[in-house]
Amino acid sequence: MGEIYALGVNFKTAPVEVRERLACSPEEARGILPELKTSSGVEELCILSTCNRVEIYTFSSSEGSVELLLELFLKLKGLEEAKKHVFIRKGEQAVFHVFKVASSLDSMVVGEPQIVAQFKESFRIAREMGTTGKILNRLFEKALRASKRVRVETGVSRNAVSVSYAAVELAKKIFGDLRKAKVLLVGAGEMGELAANYLKRLGCQIFITNRTYERALRLSQELGGNALRFEELEELLPTMDIVIVSTGSKSFVLTEKMVKEAMKRRNYEPMFIIDISVPRNVDPAVGKIDEVFLYDIDDLKEVVESNLKDRMKEAKRGEIILWDEVKKFMGWMESLRVEPLILKLKEKVKDAEKRDPYLRRLVFRAIREMKRNPEAAPIIFRIFDEEVKDVNRREGLSYVYNRADGA
């Protein structure tokens, strides 16, 4: 019986220049998986490649095959010197690592949801290429189950930990249902664009303006929004519920006077303004206007840092759940060691078991005890063997007695 191994590099062990050179696209993974499996001699393997990690999960009955697998992979990637950055885990520790990765508890941003899709995709490719089998199939199935338990039973993915997403979460708290909200993106900064994209997914109407109209037009096509001319900003501001300001301007784009006038025209219906610009593009005095909710980059970072602390607390709870799932999986692995004895036991009594209720109970009890205590399985098998002989002996004596009595 072999062991499960986890090996590779991630953001904790290797710099980005090493990780990007070891990264495997889906097409490359399809090409090298069968070659690595055949050449190394491992029984099963899968490669998980993301921007933060390139890891190999394998099942092998030989530690030497695993070492050879690593050498072959590094050689194929032309980066044999990267071995110093590689971690290797075996058995229970390897299983815990796989479960932790799938649950995003090992991610750079704890609780980020993308890893689950990446994990599923890597498994799908390996299974498609025929490099997984009974052990890794079960490992991945249980890792995804563990991941779901962590998400459902803890708050590890509940709070926003990116500035853009934190802005959206705050908007949801202020407006509740965002499906009818009108969002104006002023400028084309990356974080503002991300926030607008999140809001679009929630059903908001997106409007974009920029000093360069062509840029606003191009971005509106990408986001499925509407481009507005920058000169129209003051006129259209009263119609907007959420305003995201993300420009490179050195002065205020939204002034106190401009927003006061807009609020009068919208009868003081709430307006949420997010200033993600550095330096700030919204006059801080705007935040004192009635029914205006103004947040700048520092406010959002405070929310993110607070949420990160909460996530780290929840991650500790998540690890307790993972160890529970790891123990169950290792129990299943142990039970595989006694499969040959169980098959031998069933073969020994396959005909007699059907007609003898006592023997059926005996088989059930023996298999149950073997699975519970795999180390004692050979002893249990010998005891069972003796019991079967006694049953056969009693059957034989009964037959002799009945013949004699009938004579």
Q: What is the mean pLDDT of residues 23-30?
A: 94
Give the whole-angstrom CA distance, residue 324 versus residue 328.
7
Indicate whether 296 pLDDT > 90. no
Cα–Cα distances in angstroms (integers) from residue 407 to residues 29, 300, 400, in the given order: 77, 99, 11
Domain ranges of the chain: 3-153, 163-304, 340-366+377-394
| Token couple for 384 | 């069972």
**More confident: 165 or 41:** 41
Tell me the Cα Rg of the chain: 32
Return the pLDDT at 171: 83
Q: Which residue has the tokens 């926030």?
A: 195
Tell me: the pLDDT tens digits for 133-157? Answer: 999 999 999 999 999 999 999 988 7
Q: Produce one character per residue of 266-286: b if its CB has 16 or more CB atoms within 10 Å, e if not.
A: beeeebbbbbbbeebbbbeeb
Q: How confident is the model at residue 300 (pLDDT cuts 50, 70, 90)?
A: confident
Cα angle 20-301-199, degrees, rounded to a multiple of 5:
80
Return the pLDDT at 129: 97
Q: What is the mean pLDDT of residues 82-104?
A: 97
| Token couple for 85 | 């950055």
Q: Produce one character per residue of 234-256: b if its CB has 16 or more CB atoms within 10 Å, e if not.
A: eeebbebbbbbbbbeeeebbbeb
Which are the catalytic amino acids?
Answer: 51
Q: How confident is the model at residue 356 (pLDDT cuts 50, 70, 90)?
A: low
Q: How confident is the model at residue 403 (pLDDT cuts 50, 70, 90)?
A: very low
Give the whole-angstrom CA distance, residue 237 versus residue 329.
58
Are 163 and 301 a contacting pair, CB within 8 Å? yes
Return the pLDDT at 396: 44
Cα–Cα distances in angstroms (integers) from residue 202 to residues 179, 197, 354, in the given order: 6, 9, 62
Q: How confident is the model at residue 355 (pLDDT cuts 50, 70, 90)?
A: low
Return the pLDDT at 30: 96
Give the whole-angstrom CA distance, residue 113 versus residue 156.
10
Indicate whether 354 pLDDT > 70. no
As a whole-number percent, the residues of the chain with pLDDT over 90 amount to: 52
Indicate whether 229 pLDDT > 70. yes
DSSP class of residue 254?
A: B
Residues β-bridged to residue 184: 207, 243
Regarding beta strands 87-90 and 3-10, do their DSSP bridges make them parallel or antiparallel, or are they unpaired? Answer: antiparallel
- For domain 3-153, give the CATH superfamily: Glutamyl-tRNA reductase, N-terminal domain (3.30.460.30)
Give the whole-angstrom CA distance, residue 326 versus residue 334.
12
> Tell me, which fold does domain 163-304 have in CATH?
Rossmann fold (3.40.50)
* Distance from chain centroid for Cα 19: 19
Strand order in the sheet with 242-245: 226-229, 205-210, 182-186, 242-245, 271-275, 292-296
**More confident: 256 or 380:** 256
Return the pLDDT at 389: 65
Indicate whether 341 pLDDT > 50. yes
Tell me: the pLDDT tens digits for 378-393? Answer: 777 677 767 666 655 5
Tell me: the pLDDT tens digits for 196-212? Answer: 888 888 888 899 999 88
Indicate whether 84 pLDDT > 80. yes
**More confident: 161 or 374:** 374
Q: What is the mean pLDDT of residues 100-113?
A: 87
Closest CA to 42 of 68, 64, 60, 67: 60
Average pLDDT of the chain to the nearest whole number: 86
Which of 154-158, 286-290, 342-346 is predicted with the least confidence, judged by mean pLDDT?
342-346
Are 243 and 196 a contacting pair, CB within 8 Å? no
Q: What is the mean pLDDT of residues 52-77?
A: 97
For residue 36, the surrounding DSSP H or E stretch is: helix 26-40
